[in-house]
Amino acid sequence: MSETIFSKIIRGEIPCHHVYEDDAVLAFLDVNPLSRGHTLVIPKEVAKTLDQLSDEASAAIGRVLPKIARAVLAATGATSFNVLQNNGADAHQAVFHVHFHIIPKVEGRGLGIGWEPMKVETADLKALREKIARCAAAETQKG
């Protein structure tokens, strides 16, 4: 697994503006924020993308995300926020260690979203549903 700047931050070799830490999770301010309070929440487990993360690390980060979101809202006075989680270079991932962005809407700043829905046939939805449900069941069986 390749080394990233986030591994160095976890090991304390590089400083960060940390806001939360426990055995499995670290949260710190993004140094190139989209808005004031833009925070990154990362598992200490090394995994490039979300699909590679263990159930244990996923549970740990899932427990922490709402707490950090509440803290960011309380500290910034924001009432709206986005959670962004990029996986793969084509999906805008730049640091290849799983991380969740918590991006509050502050003073008109925050995450800009280009959302262009495509047309889809019902038959395609049905076929996809079947295929993904089968794959999800296989994933669940793996444990």
Q: Between residues 28 and 60, which has the closer beta carbon with respect to ligand AMP? A: 28
Residue located via tokens 């270079």: 89
The one among 71, 95, 109, 111 contacting ligand AMP by CB under 6 A? 95
> How far from 136 is each of 32, 55, 65, 139, 142, CA to CA, in Å?
36, 14, 24, 5, 10
Among 31, 89, 123, 138, binds ligand AMP (CB under 6 A): 31
Stretch that binds ligand AMP, among 67-75, 91-99, 117-125, 129-137 (CB under 6 A): 91-99
Are the C-beta atoms of 107 and 36 separated by less than 8 Å? yes
Question: What's the one-letter identity of residue 142?
Answer: K
Indicate the residue among 94 and 128 with the shorter CB distance to ligand AMP: 94
Alpha carbon distance 99, 45 (integer Å): 11
Q: Which of 1, 59, 74, 94 binds ligand AMP (CB under 6 A)?
A: 94
- Catalytic site residue from 17, 92, 97, 99: 99
Q: Is 16 in the site for ligand AMP (CB under 6 A)?
A: yes
Residue for token pair 């290849």 = 96
